[in-house]
Amino acid sequence: MPNDVGHEIADALGTLLRRSTRERIYRRLTEGLGEAVDEVTYPVLSGLARTGPRSAAGLADEIGLDRSGVTRRATRLEQAGLLRREPDPADRRATLLALTEAGRAAIETTRQRLATHIEDSLASWPPGEAQTFARQLRRFVDHGPFTA
């Protein structure tokens, strides 16, 4: 059965995906950050946190969305004070989307919560295995089936 490993990983990924798209997860991670931060607007925040201030078009391309969607989500976040539109000094028709201090704080909070949650649930693993798993997972993500 040459495809054993593939099926094993595929099944595990399947349940992982299913579970992680549950709304509850987002709720717990974004609790208390204001109702503007939800599973819809989150990718905009986290995208900006990853790449820094950026045009709507570039961000749309990265998070796999239409430009109009980014515009609308950005507007919501802007009204909530988590995001700021600033004119691109190099191109006056462009507007850069940038996180405000509150936006960065919100992202950092969720990041910290998630990391802590993961660490807690891995506390019972044999020492060292969590590290090797993290390394392999990173490699799997970077050079694996979903690289493109």
96 in Cβ contact with 85 (< 8 Å): yes
Pairwise CA distance, residues 97 & 54, whole Å = 5
Residue 68, binding choice from DNA, a second copy, none, Cβ under 5 to 8 Å by partner class: DNA
**Is position 6 an interface residue for a second copy (rule: CB under 8 A)?**
yes
40 to 69, contacts with a second copy by CB under 8 A? 43, 46, 63-64
Does 68 bind DNA (CB under 7 A)? Our answer is yes
Residue in the structure block whose two tokens are 């004070």? 81
Q: Closest approach of Cβ 108 to a second copy, in Å?
A: 11
Structural contact between residues 100 and 80, judged by C-beta atoms closer than 8 angstroms: no
Q: How far is the CB of 89 from DNA (least distance, A)?
A: 9
Are 54 and 97 spatial neighbours (Cβ–Cβ below 8 Å)?
Answer: yes
Closest to DNA by CB, 2 vs 52, is 52
